[in-house]
A = this chain, B = another copy of it.
Amino acid sequence: MSPKITTELLKQLRQVMRNPKYVQEPVQAYIVPSGDAHQSEYIAPCDCRRAFISGFDGSAGTAIITEQHAAMWTDGRYFLQAANQMDNNWTLMKMGLKDTPTQEDWLVSVLPEGSKVGVDPFIIPADQWKRMSKVLRSAGHDLVPIKENLIDTIWTDCPQRPCKPLITLDLSYTGVSWRDKIVALRSKMAERKVLWFVVTALDEVAWLFNLRGSDVEYNPVFFAYAVIGMNTIRLFIDGDRMTDPAVREHLQLDSTLEPEFKIQVMPYGSILTELQAVGASLSPKEKVWLSDKASYALTEAVPKAYQYLTPYTPICIAKAVKNASETEGMRRAHVKDAVALCELFNWLEKEVPKGTVTEITAADKAEEFRSQQKDFVELSFATISSTGPNGAIIHYKPVPETNRTLSVNEIYLLDSGAQYKDGTTDVTRTMHFGTPSAYEKECFTYVLKGHIAVSAAIFPNGTKGHLLDSFARSALWDCGLDYLHGTGHGVGSFLNVHEGPCGISYKTFADEPLEAGMIVSDEPGYYEDGSFGIRIENVVLVIPAETKYNFKNRGSLTFEPLTLVPIQTKMIDVSLLTQKELNWVNDYHQKCREVIGAELERQGRLEALQWLIRETEPLIRVQ
């Protein structure tokens, strides 16, 4: 992949950074964050400003352009990809390494005295604004909001903001009606004595109203805000989406409802002025609840004295704990997903030796098999289909320039998932279609030991996920190996494949405790730059555990794998497994055989069934 040439673009950007048409005073630095106005991780093409200016299109990264420098901060998943996609104008700032400066510290070190640093106030989260602003101010600089997005001024062929039709979800999928969700939210508001709640995250709007959209690829969300009062509901949304009779019916827009459930539909762009009006109407002690990650623009619309900011909103926390309907939906989705992958791996086993399968065709085939399943909507993220050295690029996505042919000599890593109307999947399997080397098997087995250590962990109620992260690394650490990413993330229910407030990562300390009903991924890995990548990922459900002493009735939790796809036994060095680990693998494969086998049979996919049976043969320890 050749890097994007950005010399001319950076020149243009530096011109507008001084152009009084756009900035009151020249800015000596301009920050281009990753997200959109909703702090989404996955964003619409019109919001891919950081990728436009730099060429680096990974899901996380912040660009800062000064008069002399252009620098990009990203994390371990993207070090290789960013280095490949950016030209020499850019300096890569490897987050998580000891010597990498923070954005603020770097700015302080390179800026001339008394500089102005510009940023779009709709794009920067309020908490980040606060942190940066403080450091910059204490070094004599100023962080200033620039109303017009400066990237947009030079992005001549910027695409339109999408505005696609909505999907309504009935009770059989959601378990709880939107009215009941509003009631629960208002009770949380009453508890905290706040009068208004501003819903800014797209998945929170979608979850609250039991609606889905397709404005953003992979994430079934739509551009909207909501402002919930104790007696009012305002939904800010554009287009003719509210003319759809199914949507009108679902939201009861034409019914004679109690006034407190009557939804007022308003234009998407009117949120700022409406929120300013709410702010102006408040009397002392009346509060407006926002996420501290809401944009600086919206947060500042409410006078400081009336702001009530929390890291996680009550919607975020309620959404994370799946109810019985959602859990059953997730189970169904994972069974269908496993059927598709059994088909795929069976197909790959036959085709790879012919030398005709590439990373791209394998990914396409995976999508084809998934799309044959009931209620399939779309993929849940860009398929990571990578073989050999490409596997070491943690969030690799095959493109024609990098596309590699699968072979019997290289490890193949497939990290993929789908959105079904009943659930979201995310699974990684690492396979060898020939004979893996002893070193490849050794590394794979350490990763597997880490995967099992998390999956089989038993821990007391109230434990935060980050306390489990080291379990996934222990076997790798013992041999001096590690991986530079977290171990797990929350997964939405037909929603974003990455969602808060829980996860399993050494980096997150503000995570909420794990609770029964939460769903996270368990995905340790190992990456050998230039050679191969290994990752084993299941989506797992937090469930109550049975223990001998039950933590003095505090209760115990553990995980149940929802993903039921065989883990390639050919890659396992059985001599490195404990008996407990060996039993875990055999029990897991037995369950795959039973549950997925039954569905393969029901769907008449008999060749894939044979593959499944072969791949789930119990492991035996050779004495």
List the interface of chain A (C-beta within 8 A of B).
98, 138, 140, 284-285, 305, 457-460, 462, 464, 467-471, 473-474, 477-482, 506, 509, 513, 547-551, 554, 556, 578
Find chain B residues with CB under 8 A from A506 CB.
464, 467
CB distance from A25 to the nearest CB of B (A): 20
With A470-B467, A506-B467, A509-B509 in contact, is A460–B477 under 8 Å at CB? yes
Find chain B residues with CB under 8 A from A481 CB.
549, 551
Contact assessment for B480 and A551 in the assembled complex, using a CB-CB cutoff below 8 Å: yes
Contact assessment for A479 and B548 in the assembled complex, using a CB-CB cutoff below 8 Å: yes
Find chain B residues with CB under 8 A from A549 CB.
479-481
CB distance from A105 to the nearest CB of B (A): 11
CB distance from A420 to the nearest CB of B (A): 34
Find chain B residues with CB under 8 A from A509 CB.
509
Kindly list 9 other residue pairs between chains A and B, CB separation below 8 angstroms, not including A138-B305, A509-B509.
A140-B285, A458-B480, A459-B470, A460-B477, A460-B482, A477-B547, A477-B556, A479-B547, A480-B550
A462's partner among B98, B457, B471, B547 (CB-CB below 8 A) is B98
Q: Which residue of chain B has the shortest Cβ distance to A140 in the bound complex?
A: B285
Find chain B residues with CB under 8 A from A468 CB.
470
CB distance from A38 to the nearest CB of B (A): 26
Contact assessment for B477 and A458 in the assembled complex, using a CB-CB cutoff below 8 Å: yes
Q: Tell me the complex Cα distance, A549–B285, Å.
A: 59
Q: Which residue of chain B has the shortest Cβ distance to A139 in the bound complex?
A: B285
Contact assessment for A478 and B458 in the assembled complex, using a CB-CB cutoff below 8 Å: yes
Contact assessment for A477 and B457 in the assembled complex, using a CB-CB cutoff below 8 Å: yes
Q: Which residue of chain B has the shortest Cβ distance to A481 in the bound complex?
A: B549
Find chain B residues with CB under 8 A from A98 CB.
462, 513
Find chain B residues with CB under 8 A from A284 CB.
140
With A468-B470, A470-B470 in contact, is A548–B480 under 8 Å at CB? yes
Find chain B residues with CB under 8 A from A467 CB.
469-470, 506
Q: List 20 A-B contacts (CB under 8 A).
A: A98-B462, A138-B305, A140-B285, A457-B474, A459-B477, A467-B470, A467-B506, A468-B470, A470-B470, A470-B471, A478-B547, A479-B547, A479-B548, A480-B547, A480-B548, A480-B551, A480-B556, A481-B551, A482-B554, A578-B578
Q: Which residue of chain B has the shortest Cβ distance to A554 in the bound complex?
A: B482
Find chain B residues with CB under 8 A from A140 CB.
284-285
Q: Which residue of chain B has the shortest Cβ distance to A459 in the bound complex?
A: B477
Find chain B residues with CB under 8 A from A478 CB.
458, 547
Q: Tell me the complex Cα distance, A284–B551, Å.
A: 56
Contact assessment for A471 and B474 in the assembled complex, using a CB-CB cutoff below 8 Å: yes
Find chain B residues with CB under 8 A from A138 CB.
305
CB distance from A297 to the nearest CB of B (A): 22
Q: Tell me the complex Cα distance, A459–B473, Å.
A: 9
CB distance from A305 to the nearest CB of B (A): 8
Find chain B residues with CB under 8 A from A479 CB.
547-549
Q: Tell me the complex Cα distance, A284–B468, Å.
A: 47
CB distance from A460 to the nearest CB of B (A): 5
CB distance from A462 to the nearest CB of B (A): 6
Q: Tell me the complex Cα distance, A464–B509, Å.
A: 12
Q: Tell me the complex Cα distance, A402–B459, Å.
A: 34
